[in-house]
Structure 1
Amino acid sequence: MQRQSIPALTMALGSTIVLALLGGCTSVTPPAEPVDVVISGGTVYDGSGGEPYLGDVAMRGDRIVYVGPQRDLAARRTIDARGMIVAPGFIDPHTHAEVFLNSPDPEQRVNAAWLAQGVSTVMIGVDGGGSPDIAQAADRLETGGIGTNAVPFVGFGAVRSRVMGEEDRTPSGAELAAMKELVAQAMCDGGRGFSTGLFYAPQSFAETGEVIEIAREAAIRGGIYDTHQRDESSYSIGLLASVAEVIRIGRETGMPVHIAHIKALGVDVQGQAPAVIAMVEKARAQGIEVTADQYPWLASGTSLEASLLPPWALDGGNDALRLRLAQPDERARMKADMAENLRRRGGASAMLLTSPDLAWTGKTLAQMADLQGGNAVDTALAIIARSLEHGGGQTNVASFNMAHSDVDLFMRQPWVVTASDGSNGHPRMYATYPEKYDAYVLDRRTIDLGNFIRQSTGKVADIYGIEERGYLKSGYFADVLVFDPGGYAPRADYLNPRELATGVTALFVNGALAVENSNPTGTTAGRVLLRPAPANCQVRPR
């Protein structure tokens, strides 16, 4: 869309800004001693959802020491924020940022993809992938240096694989006890909660009762249940039954439950957002804490294997899959199931292959099938077989299978926050927050600027219990964002997914300048934000 002037943009974002500028803030006593940085004269959104106002934000060390009306503050550095938006650093509750944070390359650990969007804190270990070795992982990250704060989860997939491998079976009593012990220790070591990805093997092999038994270990230690639910479409139990399963887990464990990247995925379930919302609202009225996050894209991002292969084909992992592909009867059965999965995802033209630097990168599955002179399912199997030959890494796809009406409706719910689900090959890794601002605040006007900031800051901190972050408050950690409302924009798209966003004038992480004029500075001031251990934990020494 064409960018508007600042006055026109202010009008578009609502008259409440104008009213607040006339005196909507409460005076706070300014600090007597000089500060390190003052951000002066910006339009301040403090993360609470309250009215914005013209004001100053001052920092000393890693803390905010003043938020309020403009003052003549003595500072070592002053940033002129006139015409700019000043907000808490964004908190992304669902990422796959480990690809950067765990890199041996210090430049990668800066996590520029998120910093350039204004994100100061990322959740990791989601979709059930979080290692139970939380203490060791935290030490490694902080020793190496990371650009954003990181909040770790312990993951069901990592725990089940360690104890049971990749098999489709019920755990023995000893195996169940071992999984519970791993989760309990991970929570005592500072895990924020228990994450699952029940759509993915081997987690998909677990019955609900097994998940509940293990999740209780996180529940009794104050954790949250965060899930890529079992079915966002019509693969197995269906979207509505899957939401009911999430609610049941919350009811039986007594813990808050959070649905990751909530959506109605595929032609069979598009239009079911109202029914999902009604189920969540009913559960919340009954006292069950149900929340969700969402990314502002019509294409999901996952692997070709997870999208098309039936769960039974993955029983036993890649070695078992190789054997099945070599057996004509099994291969024929697999192809029939894959054809149905391709149909529910909208067909081969709706699947863009996004793994970097391969022959099919940037092509749809339909285009690859045409180039190879075959049908889409055979082409998909050939790509999967090649991946298996080269170490078994999965093939990334962007799957265009959501409707604007569902996305808009979910976005307006007060219990939904912003998340990227940032993963390699999808532009959401580099552009989720400016995309939401550009497409859903400025263009579609699905939500206003205040809600956009609230859904990206304080509301996320509230859901996950992240202490002293997500708000611009005196005494809170100095994760502070300044962005240009006329220049904050995505540059990444589906064919060029690794382009840094523009428009972040400044981003401070723990008081250190991490982005200046859209350019990451290279600083690694991020920290691992472990949960304080509850009294019933015996934590291993770190």
Structure 2
Amino acid sequence: MELTYDLLIKNGRVLDGAGNHWYRGDVAVSEGRIAAVGALVGAEADRVIDAGGLVVAPGFVDAHSHADSVTLVYPQMESTVMQGITTVVAGQCGSSLAPVSPELREELERRAADSLPPEAELKITWTTFDEYLREEERRGLGANVAHLVGHGAIRTAAMGFDARDPTDEELERMRELTAEAMEAGAFGLSTGLIYPPGIFAKTGEIIELARVAARYGGVYDSHIRGEGRTLLRAVGEAIAIGERAGLPVQISHHKAAAREMWGKSEETLRMMEEARGRGVDVTLDQYPYRAGATGLVSLLPPWAHDGGVQRLLERLRDPEQRERMRRDIEEGLPDWQNFAGEAGWENVYVTYVKTEANRAAEGRNLSEIREMRGDPDEFTSLYRLLLEEEGAAGMIIFMMEEDDIRRIMRHPLHMVGTDAGSVAPTGIMSRGKPHPRHYGTYPKILGRYVREQGVLRLEEAVRKMTSLPAQRFGLLDRGLLRPGMRADIVVFNPDTIIDKATFQDPHRFPEGIEHVVVNGQVTVDEGEYTEALAGRTLRKRGAAPTL
């Protein structure tokens, strides 16, 4: 009997995502799910893709994404799907777009505008996490999006931007907001403990909210309290939060991010192994680059952020407070990741600015910008640039070394994440010089670290990109090529796959990604984006609270 499917991918080297060796076979899709896998002799389909010489694998699951920052204004998610990603885990680093306090709606819209191109307007029409997810569900998406709820959003909704401990009433409100988000379908709680307002939160506050997430089967996902000189204490804090709150821990974009800390990944990985020996379910994700990226305001000490961006700009206009900031950068502060002081001004590059007047700063480091502007020193260039851009500027900072990157990548607890949003080489999302991880994370690992350097076996790399992150976040119908699973599939050429994006020329798609299928629809076809919006907003289901 002839079997007819919606889509048939035949003659490929099938990597099922579980780490098994590839086998030659076919993958059939019907009604958005994988219908059959194997030697499907005589099968027919409305669309047939001949994958001879190509690898057929589950669609990549991005364990650490900031695509939620743009899905409501750029749902295509082009740079995401063009590198083979079919599902992202967003709401990272304590930053989610819900919950929202109605009194702060306009301020939050201004903050969102600072990270978006001028042509992209985001109107915040929601207050609760459920209302936010409903808004996203009304739009099409290029890839599936699973959301964490951000501690920063919860804290801001409950008590604003203040650098203080919450009152008992505010802490209870934060617990309520966490529970509401988990009931709406959040997959866990995230923190960003080098960013305001997370940087103001003590460990006990986070444990209280993590306990709420734990009752719903959630994950604690943390941009820890520093990845430079504070690295070991910060990893220990993350593990302690999971241990005391009783939930799994995900260490975000793990790295040793200061020259004096290079090599310390041996110790941090040992800490995680020892924690697992005590029964703490801790894992990590990583992107394969020597540089990270974040907002330029992150170069300023924690106290400067008290009260929000407008208060920060007021302090930058005050000569006495500017000198205090300069001194703190030169001398450092306890428990603060001092990017400029630890990495050097010459390793801090501006990625985007808001005004045309400063466009020439994009792609240059602060030492080059100082020389270009004729400023007396780099700190002067920094504060003047931040004032001129009203705080809306981004940076890339070189701070890691290859031995740590490879060591972390090889570790069994490692999975892959981009730490990127979604951009595009043309149109409104093509501004500036974003980190090349937006385009190249997965192809770089498969091309450079697997094929060229042999750091990982292909089968293991694919597992770290698919079933491992799917398992970690409870995406149990994705990440494997098995009948009944959602039809998220990537077809790539193992001999040619490679990243093309660079730090100076980042808006370049990779090579070797031939086809991408999202929920059964072909989203990338013969290397070209089809503009299909087949992705979905994913909600964690079946997680009633435990008492």
TM norm structure 2: 0.88
1:126-525 correspondence runs (5 A): 126-130=92-96, 131-132=98-99, 133-234=128-229, 238-306=230-298, 308-340=299-331, 341=338, 344-355=341-352, 358-373=359-374, 374-388=376-390, 392-393=391-392, 395-423=393-421, 425-525=434-534
| Structure 2 residue 17 is the aligned partner of structure 1 residue 81 | no
Q: How far apart in 2 are the matches of 1:344 and 1:333?
A: 14
Report if the CA contact (8 A) 1:190-1:533 is conserved.
no
Q: How far apart in 2 are the matches of 1:523 and 1:319?
A: 40
Q: CA deviation at 1:330?
A: 1.4
Q: Which residue pairs with 2:427 in the alignment?
A: none
Q: How far apart in 2 are the matches of 1:333 and 1:268?
A: 25
Q: How far apart in 2 are the matches of 1:89 and 1:411?
A: 20
Q: How far apart in 2 are the matches of 1:345 and 1:496?
A: 26
Q: Which residue pairs with 1:64 in the alignment?
A: 34
Question: Which segments of 5 or more consecutive residues in structure 2 lack a partner in the other structure?
Answer: 100-127, 332-337, 424-433
What secondary structure does 2:191 align onto? Answer: strand
Report if the CA contact (8 A) 2:340-2:348 is conserved.
no
What secondary structure does 2:138 align onto? Answer: helix
**Once the two structures are superposed, what CA deviation does each residue of 1:443-486 show, in whole Å capped at 9, x if it has no partner?**
22211211110110001111111021000000111001111122
Report if the CA contact (8 A) 1:101-1:109 is conserved.
yes
Q: How far apart in 2 are the matches of 1:271 and 1:112?
A: 36
Q: CA deviation at 1:328?
A: 2.4
- Distance change >3 Å, CA 428–CA 221, structure 1 → 2: same
Question: Which segments of 5 or more consecutive residues in structure 1 lack a partner in the other structure?
Answer: 1-30, 538-542
- Distance change >3 Å, CA 415–CA 329, structure 1 → 2: same
Q: CA deviation at 1:70?
A: 5.0
Q: CA deviation at 1:343?
A: 5.1
Q: How many residues align?
A: 495
Q: CA deviation at 1:387?
A: 1.9
Q: Which residue pairs with 1:9 in the alignment?
A: none
- Please provide the CA RMSD for this pair: 1.5
Q: CA deviation at 1:268?
A: 2.7
Q: Where has structure 1 moved over 4 Å in runs of 4 or more?
A: none
Q: Which residue pairs with 1:37 in the alignment?
A: 7
Q: CA deviation at 1:533?
A: 4.1
Percent identity reads 37
What secondary structure does 2:142 align onto? Answer: coil
Report if the CA contact (8 A) 2:448-2:498 is conserved.
no
Report if the CA contact (8 A) 1:187-1:533 is conserved.
no
Q: How far apart in 2 are the matches of 1:254 and 1:488?
A: 41
Q: How far apart in 2 are the matches of 1:243 and 1:143?
A: 38
What secondary structure does 1:268 align onto? Answer: helix
Q: How far apart in 1 are the matches of 2:2 and 2:61?
A: 31
Q: CA deviation at 1:305?
A: 1.2
- Distance change >3 Å, CA 342–CA 151, structure 1 → 2: closer
Report if the CA contact (8 A) 2:183-2:544 is conserved.
no
- Distance change >3 Å, CA 448–CA 344, structure 1 → 2: farther
Q: How far apart in 2 are the matches of 1:109 and 1:226?
A: 24
What secondary structure does 1:296 align onto? Answer: coil
Q: Which residue pairs with 1:121 in the alignment?
A: 87
Letter in 2 for 1:372: R
TM norm structure 1: 0.89
